[in-house]
């Protein structure tokens, strides 16, 4: 295959590291498309739950991943809306339950395989910012700019806690911390496309860094002519 000249910025990292916000704002600053690959796994999880498919049914899950219709409806300033098989599922896919389901089904090689081409189809001019766990290692290994964004588990749990409180959802910080540690463990130790930095990724630890600074760090690495 000839090399793809459309530039890609990959931003991988564990749950709650701020990849979503950072990636969306970097994409906005560049005027590029944005791929939230975690939302695809979450959407498949929701679709599988709607269809009554269990996490112990790998073939059915892979078939579900292939046939599920997932649309992102971009709005100017806010998070995009997610439509799964014609139904608005934005709030549903953001639940902790959807996150855990996504993490569990994402460990199935056939499910990951079913989503490869869909993810690569987001690579369109003038460029793409792709957020996930394996964007720099598996989906876009030829991406010219790779980042791995992390933060301590406690910092990530606290950020998530604050977000949920602001939405009026009551949770225990301890439960969130356990959930984050369990998800890291599952995502990092699976056999296929485990969560790990690409060899050529720049690692950013955002534990005590404001989002604006993280975005700045990423943008300064990119050639200035990319900025819109």
Closer residue to ligand DC in complex, CB, 31/163: 163
Contact residue for ligand DC among 24, 25, 42, 180 (CB under 6 A): 42
Contact residue for ligand DC among 64, 187, 206, 214 (CB under 6 A): 187
Q: Which residue intervals of the chain are DSSP H helices?
A: 19-30, 37-51, 58-67, 90-93, 96-105, 109-120, 153-166, 173-189, 211-221
- Residue 209 and residue 156: Cα distance in Å, rounded? 12
Instruction: Assess 38 for contact with ligand DC (CB under 6 A).
Output: yes
- Could you tell me where the beta strands, DSSP code E, fall in 3-112? 8-12, 33-36, 70-73, 81-84, 87-88
Choices 27-35, 52-60, 83-91, 128-136 (CB under 6 A): range interacting with ligand DC? 128-136
- For residue 127, the tally of other CB atoms under 10 A from its CB is 19
Instruction: Assess 37 for contact with ligand DC (CB under 6 A).
Output: yes
Instruction: Assess 18 for contact with ligand DC (CB under 6 A).
Output: no
Strands 145-150 and 8-12: parallel
Contact residue for ligand DC among 17, 47, 102, 218 (CB under 6 A): 102
Q: Least distance from C-beta 165 to ligand DC, angstroms?
A: 19
- DSSP code of residue 225: G
- Interacting residue ranges for ligand DC, rule: CB under 6 A: 15, 37-38, 41-42, 99, 102-103, 106, 132-134, 183, 187
């Amino acid at each position: 295959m000839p090399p793809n000249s459309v530039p890609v910025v990959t931003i991988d990292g564990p749950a709650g590291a701020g990849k979503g916000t950072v990636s969306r704002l970097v994409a906005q600053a560049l005027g590029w498309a944005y791929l939230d690959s975690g939302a695809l796994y979450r959407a498949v999880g929701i679709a599988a739950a709607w269809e009554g498919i269990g996490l112990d049914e790998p073939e059915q899950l892979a078939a579900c991943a292939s046939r599920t219709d997932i649309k992102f409806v971009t709005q100017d300033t806010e998070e995009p809306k997610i439509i799964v098989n014609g139904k608005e599922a934005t709030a549903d896919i953001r639940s902790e339950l959807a996150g855990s389901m996504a993490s569990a089904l994402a460990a199935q090689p056939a499910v990951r395989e079913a989503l490869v081409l869909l993810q690569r189809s987001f690579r369109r001019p003038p460029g793409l910012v792709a957020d996930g766990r394996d964007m720099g290692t598996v989906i876009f290994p030829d991406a010219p700019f790779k980042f791995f964004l992390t933060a301590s588990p406690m910092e990530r749990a606290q950020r998530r806690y604050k977000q949920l409180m602001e939405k009026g959802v009551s949770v225990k910080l301890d439960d969130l911390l356990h959930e984050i540690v369990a998800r890291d463990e599952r995502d990092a130790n699976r056999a296929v496309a485990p969560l790990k930095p690409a060899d050529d990724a720049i690692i950013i630890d955002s534990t005590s860094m404001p989002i604006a600074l993280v975005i700045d760090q990423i943008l300064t690495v990119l050639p200035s002519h990319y900025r819109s």
